[in-house]
Amino acid sequence: MSKISFEHVSLIYQNDNKDYPVLQDMNFSIQEGEFVSLIGSSGCGKSTTLNLLAGLQKPTRGQVKIDGKSVEGPGKDRGVVFQHYSLFPWMKARKNIEFGIRQISGSASKKETAAKAEQYLKLVGLEGKGGLYPYQLSGGMQQRVAIARTLAMEPDILLMDEPFGAIDARNRVLLQELLLALLEKEEKPKTVLFVTHDIDEAILLSDRILFLREKRIFSALKVPFGRPRKRQDIIGTGAYIQFRKQLFSLFGDSAEEPEEPEARIEGIA
């Protein structure tokens, strides 16, 4: 059984008796421990797909399932990292992480919680910054704290909505590598859905890439690189350039229908 499955999922907004479909009859599944990226142009419904899985929105038709059970709302099995820095501004960095931990293990002592928060701060390279408020941290640092908060809650599924989208190029590279390293450290590989519009980011991080177009999954491609993966080992290789070209062509001219769209779909359950 797939860890995550979308079955004939549609989301339609209604306004003045007019229908505005955001997603139409979307089908895909993700296996346990798989890292899947969702790419596509702005406004194609990437974030909506992630919100449905997070339980923040409900589909108009169809079902979103985790372990075969329909998603009814947010849950402890899923952790979300948003593009905007979603830390609570009135809590210091450490407090934000502790607050997250307390949501999943109410029984843990103050000391245990604090120790765990400190451990995760260290893990994301922010040792000694726990006493700062979010406004005193750079965007990249805030996102590190948000990742630490989510990982500290030990969810099975990690949902990331363009987490590095608002971060400068240099720091983005650092954070991508940090995420790779963190996920490799996990004993049980996490199932990840990662929304991005950055092709290189998707190739570097994922096992599989889903391309969203015309309100549904238009294409699915397996990333032809193994793990552990290092940026310097794959970037610039012939396989990389070839694969990137293939992905990039998908964006192409959206108005133009490919001749045989079915032929490109592989790996969709």
Partner 1 sequence: MKGRVLPHLIFLTLTAAIFLPGRAEVHSRWVFAVVMALIEGVFLLRRKKRATCGIATIVFTFFLIWELYSSKFSTEGNFLFPPPENVFAIFLEDDSVILNSVGSSFGMMALSFAIALALGIPLGLLSGRHNRLRGIVQPIAQVLSPIPGLIYAPYAVALMPSFWAASVFILSSGLFWPVLLGVIDTLGQMQKKLTDSAKALNLSERSTVFNVLLPYCVPSIFTTLSLQISNSFLLLVGAEMLGATSGVGWYVKYSSDFSDYTRVIAGFIVIGVLVSVVNSGLARLRKAAIRWQPS
Which residue ranges make up the site for partner 1 (CB under 8 A)?
Answer: 54-56, 74-76, 78-80, 82, 84, 86-92, 99-100, 103, 133-135, 153
Smallest separation (angstroms) from partner 1 to the CB of 217 = 23
Nearer to partner 1, 84 or 244 (CB): 84
Nearer to partner 1, 51 or 219 (CB): 51
Smallest separation (angstroms) from partner 1 to the CB of 75 = 6
Nearer to partner 1, 85 or 218 (CB): 85
* Residue type (1 letter), 132: L
In angstroms, the CA 49 to CA 193 distance is 10
Nearest to 217 by CA among 22, 27, 65: 27
Smallest separation (angstroms) from partner 1 to the CB of 165 = 13
Smallest separation (angstroms) from partner 1 to the CB of 88 = 7
Nearer to partner 1, 89 or 261 (CB): 89
51-75 CB burial, b ≥16 within 10 A, e <16: bbbbbebebbebebbbeeeebeeee
Nearest to 37 by CA among 208, 213, 159: 208
Nearer to partner 1, 23 or 80 (CB): 80
Nearest to 151 by CA among 197, 120, 113, 185: 120
Smallest separation (angstroms) from partner 1 to the CB of 13 = 16
Smallest separation (angstroms) from partner 1 to the CB of 60 = 19
* Residue type (1 letter), 120: Y
Nearest to 222 by CA among 211, 238, 234: 211
* Residue type (1 letter), 225: F
Confirm if 210 and 220 have CB atoms less than 8 A apart.
yes
Nearer to partner 1, 77 or 177 (CB): 77
Confirm if 157 and 181 have CB atoms less than 8 A apart.
no
For residue 13, list its beta bridge partners. 20
Smallest separation (angstroms) from partner 1 to the CB of 102 = 9
Nearer to partner 1, 56 or 174 (CB): 56
Nearer to partner 1, 54 or 205 (CB): 54
Residue carrying the six token digits 């306004």: 15
In angstroms, the CA 261 to CA 250 distance is 10
Q: 193 is written with which tokens? A: 């859905």
221-244 CB burial, b ≥16 within 10 A, e <16: bebebeeebeeeebeeeeebeebe
Smallest separation (angstroms) from partner 1 to the CB of 259 = 40
In angstroms, the CA 26 to CA 62 distance is 9
